[in-house]
Structure 1
């Protein structure tokens, strides 16, 4: 759905009450549109772990304006299912992220930065980059942050 309000309208039709009863939860899910206003914003909260966090933040139930208690999990699952058709795990997002060398680095020295700018690899690392953004050492072992200096 395009807007949190439309999710809230859908919730009110499903469980009763007013859209305002549900709006805070749906706005929380879509808050990440402030970072990137395309589908990628969903990687932060639109998954099973995001649903669990939503319950932690908003509590196990909400009470609608009609006095009905509705499980927060139901509302959260509805939001994710309306956007995706199913509830997935965060691991599915992680698998889709293309690792870059900078993602695995704690800190780089000036020498590392210069070497990386020239070759695309951290200083002292040879061979192709691996799934975790590190290469291999000259002896064929995998380089780690503590090994590539």
Structure 2
């Protein structure tokens, strides 16, 4: 799938309703395209934790115009499966990141920056 609108059409075919019933959820999954416009944007939300995050943001269910309730988790799973073929874990994405030296560099705290206030 290339666009949230097409995911929404797929949701309509699967559960009924209209595109607007699903659009905001599918838009949210692909909102990370604001950061990076290729497939790597999916690492931010296209995984099991991202699906549960969507449920936290949009609620457990959406109510279609006809009153039918559809679980947000199922909508998220549909979106991710259409893009990736399965629902990966966040760990699956992290395993694909090549570590760079700057990623593990820690800066030593300067003792003079620590005050005794509140201690």
TM-score, normalised on structure 2?
0.88
1:21 corresponds to: 21
Q: Please, which runs of 5 or more residues in structure 2 have no aligned partner?
A: 109-119
The structure 1 segments of at least 4 consecutive aligned residues displaced by more than 6 Å after TM superposition are none
Q: Please, which runs of 5 or more residues in structure 1 have no aligned partner?
A: 109-149
Q: How large is the Cα RMSD of the aligned pairs?
A: 1.0
Aligned residue pairs total 108
2: CA distance between counterparts of 1:7 and 1:106? 41
Higher RCO (CA < 8 A, seq sep 6+): 2
Please give the secondary structure, in 2, of the residue aligned with 1:46.
coil
1: CA distance between counterparts of 2:30 and 2:66? 25
2: CA distance between counterparts of 1:39 and 1:92? 15
Deviations 1:11-65 (A, max 9, x none): 0111010011000000000000011111100000000010010111111000011
Greater fraction of residues in helix = 2
Which structure has the larger Rg over C-alpha atoms?
Answer: 1
**How many angstroms does 1:67 deviate by?**
1.2
**How many angstroms does 1:105 deviate by?**
1.8
**How many angstroms does 1:83 deviate by?**
0.3
1:54 corresponds to 2:54: yes
TM-score, normalised on structure 1?
0.70
2: CA distance between counterparts of 1:72 and 1:21? 11
2: CA distance between counterparts of 1:2 and 1:88? 19
